[in-house]
Amino acid sequence: MVRTHTVAAGETLPALALRFYGDAELFRLIATASGITGLDAVDPADGITEPHLVSVGQQLIIPDFTRYERRGGDTLTELAIRFYGDAGLSHLIAGASGITGSDTADERQQLIIPELTTYKVRAGDTAAELALHFYGDASFSPLLATANGISDPDDIGPGNTLAVFAGRSDGFGLTIVDRNEDDPRMWYYRFQTQAIGWNPGVNVLLPADYLTSGLTYPVLYLFHGGGEDFRAFDFLGIRDLTAGKPIIVVMPDGGRAGWYSNPVTSFVGPRNWETFHIAQLLPWIEANFRTYAEYEGRAVSGFSMGGFGALKYTAKYHGHFASVSSHSGPASLRRDFGLVVHWANLSSAAVELGGGTIYGAPFWNQTRVSADNPVERISSYRNKRIFLVAGTSPSPVDWFDSVNETQVLAGQREFRARLGDAGIPHESYEATGGHVFRPEMFTLDLDGILARLRPAAAL
Residue 367 makes CB contacts below 8 A (sequence gap 6+) with: none
Q: Which residues lie across from 171 on neighbouring strands?
A: 174
Looking from the CA of 333 toward its CB, the CA atoms found within 13 Å total 26
Active-site residue, selected from the candidate residues 224, 277, 327, 435:
435
Which of 201, 228, 165, 196 has the alpha carbon at shortest distance from 5? 165
Is 304 catalytic? The answer is: yes
| C-alpha–C-alpha distance, residues 195 and 358, integer Å | 15
Is 401 catalytic? The answer is: yes
Active-site residue, selected from the candidate residues 64, 253, 372, 401:
401
Active-site residue, selected from the candidate residues 90, 304, 325, 328:
304
| C-alpha–C-alpha distance, residues 442 and 439, integer Å | 5
Single-letter code of the amino acid located at 23: D
Is 229 catalytic? The answer is: no
- Given a contact cutoff of 8 angstroms between Cβ atoms, the answer to whether 88 and 116 are in contact is no
How many other C-beta atoms are found inside a 10 Å radius of the C-beta of residue 167? 21
Q: Phi, psi at residue 143, to the nearest 5°?
A: -70, -40
CA-derived radius of gyration, the chain: 25
Which of 341, 339, 352 has the alpha carbon at shortest distance from 258? 352
Which of 17, 160, 149, 167 has the alpha carbon at shortest distance from 91? 149
Active-site residues, by number, are 304, 401, 435
